[in-house]
Chain A
Amino acid sequence: MIFKGLAAAVSLCALPVPAFAMHISEGILPISWAFLWYAVALPFVAWGLRDLRRRSEETPWFKPLVSLVGAAVFLISCMPIPVPSTGTCSHPSGTGIAAILIGPGLTAVVTSIALTLQALFLAHGGITTLGANIVSMGVAGAWVGWGVFTAARRLGLPWFAAAFLAGMLSDWATYTTTSLELAAALHGDVSFTTMFSLILLAFVPTQLPLGILEGFLCAGALKFIRSRRPELLRTIPAGGAV
């Protein structure tokens, strides 16, 4: 019982956590942009919290699933992966598989908790840039992942292909949004489009292979759940993997 309580407490603190890779560091965004991205992120997080309450009442194993997904996202985001072709490191975000399993709203919630812990204790991201980082990873990444998976299934794609596309495109969407946020705030005399293109292109050599990796991770995780406990996928909206 004590063990169970400790594990629950630990996961409540550490789970709602996913990653860093696209983290905009502390102080980079002007304060007006920092507030704007907070304002954009907050409704998504609030909606996710409401979603948690509603779905937990309907499905008894939903909170454990959210906890597991949160922990997984946190671990994935704490694992920089070296990309030999560029000599740099980055990591998958895990928001694609998270959005498929628990929905984009709750992915925003677990992402926001993860990013907050990383900003406070792991020297990654920042409190002033937290809103922007939530929007790129927990909102853009999650919604793209969920949207691509749902659309691909409705179009009749096999679930493995749909999950692969969702994982890959959610990763790329995260970095595209980060590029947009940076370009909007920092373009100065240079045109927004030029700045956006330059930043996005700088991400490409590292994130292109890592996006593909994230696609395989997403599809592999779904394959495992589908074979071991397919009932967990019942909450996936129309076109789900089951």
Chain B
Amino acid sequence: MKQWIPILILAGILLSGPMPTSGRAASWPGVDETVIEKFAEKAGRPAWKPFIDTDQGDLILFVFLLAGAVGGFAAGYWFRVLFPPRRKDV
């Protein structure tokens, strides 16, 4: 039970506070959009399009999935190298 305390605290932090329900569904933008790009546009320095623009339609989903798969494979492989299963887990 003790090990669940940090997780419960964490969930409480993340789920606390008012949901943004002011007449529209939350769009969940990233802070790079809501903060960085907002201030940059006000200062007259709008962001350029990326040199390789994968942020088009579902292409961005594909590259993120690929990145997650590759990163997950690598993490899993090295995790097993560094933390081999205990004898009782096998």
A30→B74 contact, CB < 8 A: no
Contact of A84 among B17, B39, B45, B54 (CB under 8 A): B17
B47→A28 contact, CB < 8 A: yes
A59 within 8 A of B: no
- 8 A Cβ contacts from A22-70 to B: 22-30, 61, 64-65, 67-68, 70
Given contacts A26-B47, A64-B82, contact A21 B32 (CB under 8 A): yes
A68→B50 contact, CB < 8 A: no
Chain B residues lying within 8 Å of A203, measured Cβ to Cβ, are 31, 35
Chain B residues lying within 8 Å of A27, measured Cβ to Cβ, are 45-48
Chain B residues lying within 8 Å of A124, measured Cβ to Cβ, are 32
B14→A81 contact, CB < 8 A: yes
A188 within 8 A of B: yes
Chain A residue at minimum C-beta to C-beta distance from B17: A85
Chain B residues lying within 8 Å of A15, measured Cβ to Cβ, are 71, 74, 78
Chain B residues lying within 8 Å of A64, measured Cβ to Cβ, are 78, 81-82
In whole angstroms, how far apart are the Cα atoms of A82 and B25 in the complex? 13
In whole angstroms, how far apart are the Cα atoms of A48 and B46 in the complex? 33
- 8 A Cβ contacts from B38-79 to A: 38-40, 43-55, 60, 63-64, 67-68, 70-75, 77-79
B39→A199 contact, CB < 8 A: yes
In whole angstroms, how far apart are the Cα atoms of A236 and B63 in the complex? 35
Chain B residues lying within 8 Å of A89, measured Cβ to Cβ, are 28-31
Chain A: interface residue total (CB-CB under 8 A): 72
B32→A20 contact, CB < 8 A: yes
In whole angstroms, how far apart are the Cα atoms of A23 and B55 in the complex? 15
Chain A residue at minimum C-beta to C-beta distance from B70: A14
A198→B39 contact, CB < 8 A: yes
A144 within 8 A of B: no
B23 within 8 A of A: no
Chain B residues lying within 8 Å of A187, measured Cβ to Cβ, are 43
Chain A residues lying within 8 Å of B43, measured Cβ to Cβ, are 186-188
| A-binding residues in B (CB < 8 A) | 6-7, 9-10, 13-20, 26-32, 34-40, 43-55, 60, 63-64, 67-68, 70-75, 77-79, 81-83
